[in-house]
Amino acid sequence: MGPAPRGDRGGVAGPSPASRALPTELHATMGGAHEGPILAVRFSVSGAYLLTCGKDRTFRLWNPFKGALIKTYTGHAHEVRDVSCARDNAKMTTGGGDKQVFLWDVATGQKIRRFRGHDAAVNAVSFAADDQVVVSAGYDRAVKFWDVRSNSIDAIQSVCAWKDSVTSLAITRNHCVTAASVDGSIRTMDLRAGRATADALGSEHPITSVRASGDERCFLLSVLGGRCVLLDRGDGDVLAEYRGHVHDEGAFVFTLVPIRPRWRVSVESRLTRDDSHVASGSEDGKVVFWDLVEANIAATIDAHPGKACVSLAMHPTKDAMATCGTDGVARLWGPTAGRGVF
């Protein structure tokens, strides 16, 4: 895959034949449950459920197609910053501003284990290695690995290779974990081979999210300054850049210990399910879609008017997308002609 043409990034395109399959039509709204901003939205592995977590110290399990709340979970002392569900839908893991990483039983809502070791707020959590490992990343510049099968609460491995807060994790099928940092670097750790590779955009390009393409040959990065970057996983070359969303102000406080009263936006970008488009949330509440190769804006939606669109997730099997924002609302989006797809 060679460098992509930059194309025309100006303006906002209306619906085109190519964009009609994009998830730009509102299907369901999940509001009124969270009090305050929602910090992350995640589909379960199968796509049957949706998870949200927020500043109100709770995380929630939803039927996204009906917009129905299934269960509310409590137990964090501060905001819940990320949540991830195991493949069997029986366990979840969360991380938050209280420096805690928890393992949960989905059915009972009880904590199975409290992992210890982070010295600051936890920004990202995920299952890895066929759900045998929980991975977490935090403001303490560390990525930690926890054995789900054992009864130990201590990390089996801790990687402290970054100069600033680690913001995001991407788990790939070959048992690799990629972590991104506001120091402008990403590092990929191979859990089986015990190897690590690193790429850097530079400290002037703080990275707030990292996601892998469907074929896992590329990484999509959200970078402060209002751009997304498509990076070749093999040689680290920048293949394309995407501009048109707002990702500038108040996104991160550059300290290891977060200042709790201040709100931070961690705008995310994603590849659509068929990897034909890039989507990114924006601090002005919009979601912007670009053509992957041409880097032209294909469509925009005003997902959270007047508020920041903090997080978005693509459904694993349907042309659907979930978004959440500082308005305390999560929304499910589908193709303009495809309400029946749900």
Q: What is the pLDDT of residues 167-186, one digit of tens each?
A: 999 999 888 999 999 999 99
Q: Are 141 and 165 in contact (CB under 8 A)?
A: yes
Residue boundaries of the structural domains of the chain: 17-335
Q: Are strands 157-159 and 166-172 parallel, antiparallel or unpaired?
A: unpaired
Burial (CB < 10 A; 0-12, 13-18, 19+), residue 81, is: buried
pLDDT tens by residue, 286-339 = 999 999 999 999 999 999 999 999 999 999 999 999 999 999 999 999 997 645
- Which of 100, 98, 135 minimizes the C-alpha distance to 114? 100
Q: What pLDDT score was predicted for residue 341? A: 56
Q: How far is CA 173 from CA 20, 136, 215, in A?
A: 30, 18, 10
Q: How many Cβ atoms sit within 10 Å of the Cβ of residue 107?
A: 10
Q: How far is CA 321 from CA 150, 226, 268, 305, in A?
A: 35, 21, 13, 17
Q: What pLDDT score was predicted for residue 246? A: 80
- Which of 283, 291, 272, 234 minimizes the C-alpha distance to 1? 234
Homologous superfamily, domain 17-335: YVTN repeat-like/Quinoprotein amine dehydrogenase (2.130.10.10)
**In whole angstroms, what is the distance from residue 127 CA to residue 87 CA?**
9
Q: What pLDDT score was predicted for residue 173? A: 85
- Which of 239, 246, 164 minimizes the C-alpha distance to 202? 164
Q: Are 54 and 36 in contact (CB under 8 A)?
A: yes
3-class secondary structure, 19? helix
Q: What pLDDT score was predicted for residue 340? A: 52
pLDDT tens by residue, 304-316 = 999 999 999 999 9
Dihedral over alpha carbons 159, 165, 171, 177 (to 10 degrees):
-20
**In whole angstroms, what is the distance from residue 143 CA to residue 180 CA?**
10
For the chain, list residues with pLDDT below 70: 1-20, 248-266, 337-342
Q: What pLDDT score was predicted for residue 256? A: 26
Q: What pLDDT score was predicted for residue 117? A: 95
- The residues, any chain, with a CB within 8 Å of residue 172's CB and separated by 6 or more, are 178, 212, 216
